[in-house]
Structures are given as C-alpha cells and as structure tokens.
Amino acid sequence: MDFIQEYIEEAKQVLKSLEGSLLQFENRTADAEEINTVYRYLHTLKGSAGMFGFQDVERLSHELESVYSDIRDGLRQQDEFILDLALHAVDVLGDLLDGKDAVKEADKIIKDIQGIKIGTTGSPTGHSVSKEVSGGEKGFVIILSPEKEIFKRGINFQAIMDEIHELGSCEFIIHNEVVPFEKQISNKQIDSLVEVLLVCKGGLDAVKDVFLFMKPSEYMVLPIGGPEVFKSNEYQSFITLTEKEVQDRLNIINALDPTVLASESISNSIQEAPLKAEIVGNEEGEDDEQSTKIIRKSKKNGHVSVATQKLDQLINIVSELVIFRSEMHHLMEGTKNPEVDEALEKLERLTLRLRDSAFNIRLVPLNILNVKLQRLIRSVSKELGKEVEFITEGLDTELDRSMINALEAPLMHLIRNAIDHGIEKPEERSRRNKPEKGLLKFYSYNSGDHVFIQIQDDGNGIDFEKIRAKAIEKGLLSKNQTYTEKELLNVMMSPGFSTADQVTTVSGRGVGMDVVKKEITAIRGDIEVSTEKGLGSIFTLRLPLTLTILDTLVVKVSDNKYLLPISEVQFCYEEEHTKLFSKKSRQINYEGQLLPFVSMREYFGMEESTGKETVIVVNKNDTKIAVVVDSILGKLQTVYKPLNELLHNVDCFSGASILGDGSMALILNALKLKA
Amino acid sequence: MEAADGKEAVELFDGQPIDLLITDFNMPSMNGAELIQKVRAMKSYAYMPILLLTTEVRQEKIQQALDGNITAFIKKPFETQDFVKIVKKALK
C-alpha cells in the first residue's frame, strides 16, 4: 500500500468520526468541547489533504473549518442549515477522496458557506432524536472453596470455571496454590481457593445458576459496588487483602470493563460514549466518593484494524480445526482409555473456545449502522415532511461483519417504508390524537444463537384491505376467497407487490418487501410482521449469529447420512414402519394436529425399510412437516458449505458439510421435500 | 439406556463411556444408594455425574449417607423444566 492509499484510508476514518460527531449535535446543543472536536477533525483533514495534493478536499475542509472555528469562538451559532451543509460536505469529501468527480458539488458548498459568512442564509429547524440505552455490565467477585473431592461427586470443576468464562470477561486468582492448579484439576483434587473477578451482563441469578451443583458452603457471589466489597465481612471470611492487593483487583476490574466501578460514582461523564474513563483509587480509600479520581482518555482504547482477508483465513483454519476435532473424536471412539478421553475433552474445550473467540473477532456491534440509519431517517423524514423520533436500544448487539453488510439494504428499506407508509404526516397525527412526532424504535437483542432486530413504528399500521385489493388487482389472490391476515402479510412479501399509491422517490421504486424478504432469507434469517391498524407495525428480523457454523442432527437413511439443522427440529420419536404406512394419507398425529410426512427412503427412491423408523418433526417459520428416516446418529457441529452453482435448482438440499470421518453429507431443506 | 432395576443397571456399567446416571432411590432388588456406591467404585465412572431422585421425607438421611458421591438430588415431585435444566447442566 503506498502512502496515498494509506492517506485515503486514514482520511476516511476521520470523515467517519466527523460524521458521527456532527450527528450528535442533532440531539442537543453542542458543548464547546464537541465543537472543538469537529474543528480538529476538519483541521486534520485539511492539513493532510494539502500534503497529498488533494486540493479540492483541502479547499472544502478549509471553508468548513473556518465556519466551525467561528462557532467555537462564539461568533456564530450552529443551526440546522450549517449542520445540513456540513453533513453534505462529508459526503462530498468522501466522493472526492474516492476520486469521483464532485468538484462542482464542492464548489456549491463552498459558495453556500461563503454565503453564511456574509449572513444571507438560514433555515427553520426540525429535529430527530436518538437515544441509546447501554447494556449495563455488572461486576461480581466470586469465591469458590470446593471440597477437595468435588470431582468424586461427578462435578467437573473445570467445566464450572469454563461456564464462568462464558458469562462474560473475567480474571481468575488462585489462592493457596501449593500444587499447580492445572495439576490439581488433572489429579481431580482441589486444594486451592479460587477467586474470580467477573464482569457480565446477566444478573446475580444467572451467575448463581452456574453453581447449581455446588453446596452453599462452597461458593459465594458478591456484587461489586465499589472497593468496599473487598472489606466486607463475607469477603474477609475467606480472604484478607492488603491495600495494594485491593488496588490490584480494582485495576483488573477496570481493565475488564471500566464502567463497572465508574457507573457508581460518575455515571454522568460516562455517557459520552467515545470517551473511556479510568479510575485510580486513592491510597487510603476512607471516603468512597472522593477516593476515585477520573482520568479521561480521548484516545481509542487499543484497537487493531485487520484486513478482512486475514480474518477469513483465520476463520477457515479454525473451521477446519473443528472438523479435524470431530474426525479425531470419531477415530478415538473405540478406545476405552480414560486418559485419552480426557485429553480429547481438553482439546474439544480448547477448540470450542478458539472457535468462539475467532468468531467473536468477526463480530461487530450494530452500532456501526447507527450513523447511516440516522442520516437516512433525517433525510427521508425531511423529504416527506414528517417528524420522526428515533429511539435505539441494544445497538451493542454484535453480529458477523458480513451479516451487517448484508443487512444494511433491507434495514434501510424497512425504515424507509416505516416512515413513508407507516408514520402519518403531523397534521394527520394530531387529528388522530397522536403526538405529532412519529416514533420509530430500533431494538436488537440476542436470544440463544440468534440475534433479533425489531423495527417498530407508531404509525398507521398495515392496511389489510389495501393489500387485498392490490393483490387481487395484480392477480396474486383470488377475489372470491377470504384470506387470513397472515396470508395477506405473506402476499405483501411476494415478488412484484408494492402498495405505494404513487411512486415516490422514497419507496415504491419497484423493489418491495419481497426483496427485503429475499435478502433476509439469503442470510438464513426470518422476517415477521405484526401490525395493528391505526397503532403501528413491528417488523422482527431473526438472524443467525454466524453464517458458517451450524448445529445439526445427523440422520441415517439406508447407507447415507444427512444433516438437519437442529434449530429446525422440534420433536423426534420412533415408530414401526407398518404402523406409519398403514394409512394411505401419509400423515402423523402430532400434538393433536395432523402433519404430512415424507419418507426419505421413498423420496430418494430406495427400498422400503421394515423395522423401526424415526420420525422427526421439523418446524421452520411455523410450517411443520415430518420427515421419516432410519435413525438418528447424533448431534454434530458442522461447517456449512454452500452447494455448487450448478446445483442451485436442487432445493431439497440447502448445503453440504464434511462429517467427522471426512465423508460428505448433504444438509436437508425439509420444507422443500414436499413432493 | 434404561434399566428396570438396580441389578440390571449395574450390568450396563461395563466400562463403556456413559455420560450421566439418573436413578431413583427406591427400586426393587437393589436400592439407589447401593447402586451408586457400586458404580462409583468402578474406575471408569469415578467422576460421572449422578442425579438421585428422592422423596422429601427421607432426603436428609440419604443425603448424609451419599454425600460426596452424588452430583445433585432431585426432590420428587419436580417440575419438568427444572429437571431438564439440571440434566442439561450435568451433561455440560
């Protein structure tokens, strides 16, 4: 990478930060320091642009800089017009850096800026607000004093420590370590006292759940409110610390998550997200309020940016390691050597942890979409003359980078739709006794191995009559039939359906909900809609955490193995072949409901089985179907590989995967098995 | 795997890997305590999780007798979801 390329990368980074800072101003009046930050970004941009010969970038940032220097000095107030101009300038600067021909635009902005300076322009205001609720990390100190022979009770102490590890970030401190702790674990005799400093999102109950099998005398969990926890009687009944040791622990907690201790005393300054606070305790610690002093760091805390290629490579290696581990497991199955088993178990734990951390690297918080979404909402609501209050929650939810990229377009589309079709104009809203400002909420949260994203508006709701009429007009539905709301919503998401009365620039450009649905399905996600007329709608996206690793059920059909994603499997049971096929209807009775079933042997044209067969009830998006296979072989975590393009018409398989023994198995797409 | 009584159960523990033993206390031919002590004494199953189902009345006595051998007691009657939670945890 030559210098210029490096400069462009850097300048773009600065632009991004600048854009973020500018958008902050929308919510409240800017304080002096923030204006100063914007000024500094512009100044950096200008300086380096001159050095590398980007004259237009230099000119534009110079003009903008001079405006912000006036604002900083109190000679001018930042108003909506200036903000619009600055945001527009950010786009133009980006284009200029990309080498696009945006000189004309740049000149226009410069002219506008010069206009402001003389004092001829100005504009009325209109706001949109965003609010973020943070995740709320909590700190705990845990003391474990297991009985020496805890392993003899069938409790794997290592597994308990692993579970603590999974809760959040933590640090283990081993006390009384006469025998090395690793050795104690492998000897299965614990002498030491284990102290854990843990920072996690779950509450006390979630932490205590880990110790379900331990006796009350064997563990203690204390929430960390401040340094005084290390002075409490409970704590001191196990461990007594010197001042320095207390300080060490506070430092560790801070390194794990600075907000845990900070949230107690100085919650105000923490809310400025980009700043990280570090707390330094005083020597005495007599007065808790005063014993904490804050040093503000305006630098980013140790981030390394890595080329995605390198990351992908890492993920590939880890994925193969996962496969290799399964292979190893398979090869070792016959041996009854407990030591080998143990070593394998260790390998398994480590691979899983390695896999999890490798995937974690790829995860990015949804936050990176925030700026884009806010700008979209701003411009769309202005264009349509609607007022929108944008509330976000859970933007710290993390998703695979490639997922976020794939999500961007559909999310934008949903938000555009919500503002265009959902939220009414202010006049209309006040007529309906609603606040003039429409509410748009963006929620996201983790649940199991899925991430949910909800977009909720308090607008008009979806008009089923309109959908019906339109669908009939387009020939998608028949006139004489009644349809349930669910069916109508499905039609809304089918190709070639768009209800916008007129084609506006905002929505109704020929792509509709069908494209959103297609894009979401492409990343193995689901979309669900719930709506109430006059009150608004909620769009819920359900997305897998990663794209490549899949938990599957391995099933056997004749001599072949097939995989079924476990998330789709609802119920399994064994049944005699004759009993299943005694009736002609090919249906089973599951929870009082008749379900059609497909026999895999029949489907693949193999001879009928005679003995017991296994019925698997598959539930995907509330559509159920039963699949009959010979037997279930087990559970397997596999790496999902898409099928070759030539096979894209074969829709009964959604992909392929390599099994532990190195052979290949196809992943069944049960819903498409219906002949 | 299933066994009708304690005797049958002991025969299943022939050295093959087994992840978890769930047993009732009151059983014909061999009670839960005997079964557990027999199984624990085998080298292959020294560290296997064991869940014992007991009734309220006798819990304390049994607990004393088997302390140090058992992963968890499950009091009868129990809720299915609690049972599932405990079994899942024991299998971790």
Q: How far is CA A178 from the centre of its chain?
A: 43
Instruction: Read off the pLDDT of residues A599-610 as tens digits, 9 standing for 90 and up.
Output: 888 888 888 877
Contacting residues of B for A147, CB less than 8 Å apart: 68
Residue A652, judged by CB atoms within 10 A of its CB (0-12, 13-18, 19+), counts as middle
The answer to whether the CB atoms of A153 and B43 lie below 8 A apart is: no
- The model carries a pTM of 0.47
Helix (H) or strand (E) holding A69: helix A55-72
**A366-544, which class in CATH?**
alpha beta
Res A562: pLDDT:
93
Task: Answer yes or no: is pLDDT of B21 > 80.
Answer: yes
Instruction: Read off the pLDDT of residues A436-478 as tens digits, 9 standing for 90 and up.
Output: 888 999 998 887 667 899 999 988 888 888 888 888 887 778 8
SS3 A199: strand
- How close does chain A come to B40, measured CA to CA in Å? 8
Closest CA to A454 of A441, A466, A438: A441
Distance CA A266, CA A287 (A): 15
- How close does chain B come to A334, measured CA to CA in Å? 9
Q: How far is CA A113 from the centre of its chain?
A: 40
Q: What is the DSSP letter of A646?
A: G
- Dihedral angle computed from the Cα positions of residues A38, A44, A49 and A55, in that order, rounded to the nearest 10 degrees: 50
Distance CA A248, CA A260 (A): 15
The second-level CATH assignment, the architecture, of A549-673 is Roll (2.30)
- How close does chain B come to A452, measured CA to CA in Å? 24
Kindly state the tokens that stand for A502: 């007129």
- Among chain B, residues having any CB pair with chain A shorter than 8 Å are 15-17, 40, 43-44, 46-50, 68-72, 85-86, 89-90, 92
The answer to whether the CB atoms of B69 and A152 lie below 8 A apart is: yes
Res A538: pLDDT:
92
Res A453: pLDDT:
92
The answer to whether the CB atoms of A152 and B17 lie below 8 A apart is: no
Residue A432, judged by CB atoms within 10 A of its CB (0-12, 13-18, 19+), counts as exposed
Distance CA A370, CA A135 (A): 16
DSSP string over A449-488? TEEEEEEEE-S----HHHHHHHHHHTTSS-TT----HHHH
- Closest CB to A213 among B40, B44, B71: B71
Residues in CB range of A224: below 8 A, 6 or more apart: A138, A139, A140, A141, A197, A253, A260, A261
In chain B, where the domains are located: 22-91
Chain B residue with CA closest to A147: the answer is: B68
Closest CA to A422 of A364, A380, A483: A380
- How close does chain A come to B18, measured CA to CA in Å? 11
Chain B interface disruption, residue of A148, A149, A155, A187, most B CBs within 10 A: A155
Res A442: pLDDT:
92
Contacting residues of B for A151, CB less than 8 Å apart: 46-47
Res A617: pLDDT:
92
| Nearest-10 crossing angle of helices A103-118, A80-97 | 150
Closest CA to A139 of A80, A204, A189: A204
Chain A interface disruption, residue of B63, B71, B86, most A CBs within 10 A: B71
- Closest CB to A154 among B43, B44, B50: B50
Backbone phi, psi, residue A618, to 5°:
-105, 135
- Closest CB to A152 among B15, B16, B68: B68
- How close does chain A come to B28, measured CA to CA in Å? 24
Q: How far is CA A422 from the centre of its chain?
A: 25
Contact A464, A534 (CB under 8 A): no
Contact A224, A254 (CB under 8 A): no
* Weakly modelled stretches of chain A, pLDDT under 70: 1-2, 26-30, 119-136, 262-303, 448-449, 496, 498-511, 546-548, 621-622, 660-662, 674-675
Confirm or reject contact between A212 and chain B (CB < 8 A).
Answer: yes
User: What b-and-e string marks burial along B38-68, b requiring 16 or more CB atoms within 10 Å of the CB?
Assistant: ebbeeebbebbbbbbbbeeeeeeebeeebee
Domain B22-91 indexed as CATH 3.40.50.2300: yes
Residues in CB range of B41: below 8 A, 6 or more apart: none
Res A261: pLDDT:
74
User: What b-and-e string marks burial along A218-240, b requiring 16 or more CB atoms within 10 Å of the CB?
Assistant: ebbbbebebbebbeeeebeeeee
Distance CA A524, CA A547 (A): 8
Kindly state the tokens that stand for A253: 């907690």
Cβ-Cβ contacts under 8 Å between A and B: the total is 44
The second-level CATH assignment, the architecture, of A3-118 is Up-down Bundle (1.20)
Residues in CB range of A291: below 8 A, 6 or more apart: A227, A281, A282, A284, A285
Domain A138-297 indexed as CATH 3.30.70.1110: yes
The answer to whether the CB atoms of B43 and A338 lie below 8 A apart is: yes
The answer to whether the CB atoms of B72 and A336 lie below 8 A apart is: no
Helix (H) or strand (E) holding A613: strand A612-620
| CB under 8 A, 24+ apart: contacts of A336-340 | A336/B15, A336/B16, A336/B17, A336/B44, A338/B43, A338/B44
Contact B39, B21 (CB under 8 A): yes
| Nearest-10 crossing angle of helices A80-97, A3-27 | 160
Task: Answer yes or no: is pLDDT of B44 > 90.
Answer: no
Q: What is the DSSP letter of A641?
A: B
Chain B residue with CA closest to A162: the answer is: B92
Name the average pLDDT for chain B.
81
Residues in CB range of A44: below 8 A, 6 or more apart: A14
DSSP string over A420-453? IIISPPHHHHHHTT--SSEEEEEEEEEETTEEEE
Chain B interface disruption, residue of A190, A213, A342, most B CBs within 10 A: A213
Res A290: pLDDT:
37
The answer to whether the CB atoms of A336 and B16 lie below 8 A apart is: yes
**Alpha helices of A531-599 — where are they, by DSSP H?**
577-580
Chain A residue with CA closest to B18: the answer is: A336
Number of residues assigned to chain B: 92
Residue A318 half-sphere exposure toward CB, CA atoms < 13 A = 22
Residue with tokens 């918080």: A365
How far, in Å, are A19, A298, A572, A618 from residue A71 at the CA level? 17, 22, 68, 62
The answer to whether the CB atoms of B71 and A188 lie below 8 A apart is: no
Chain A residue with CA closest to B15: the answer is: A336
Distance CA A355, CA A549 (A): 10
Distance CA A422, CA A440 (A): 10
Chain A residue with CA closest to B86: the answer is: A212
Which is it for strands B72-76 and B50-55: parallel, antiparallel or unpaired? parallel
Enumerate the β-bridge partners of residue A365: A398
Res A288: pLDDT:
39
The answer to whether the CB atoms of A152 and B86 lie below 8 A apart is: no
Closest CA to A15 of A72, A71, A98: A98
Residues in CB range of A201: below 8 A, 6 or more apart: A135, A136, A137, A138, A168
Q: What is the DSSP letter of A643?
A: P
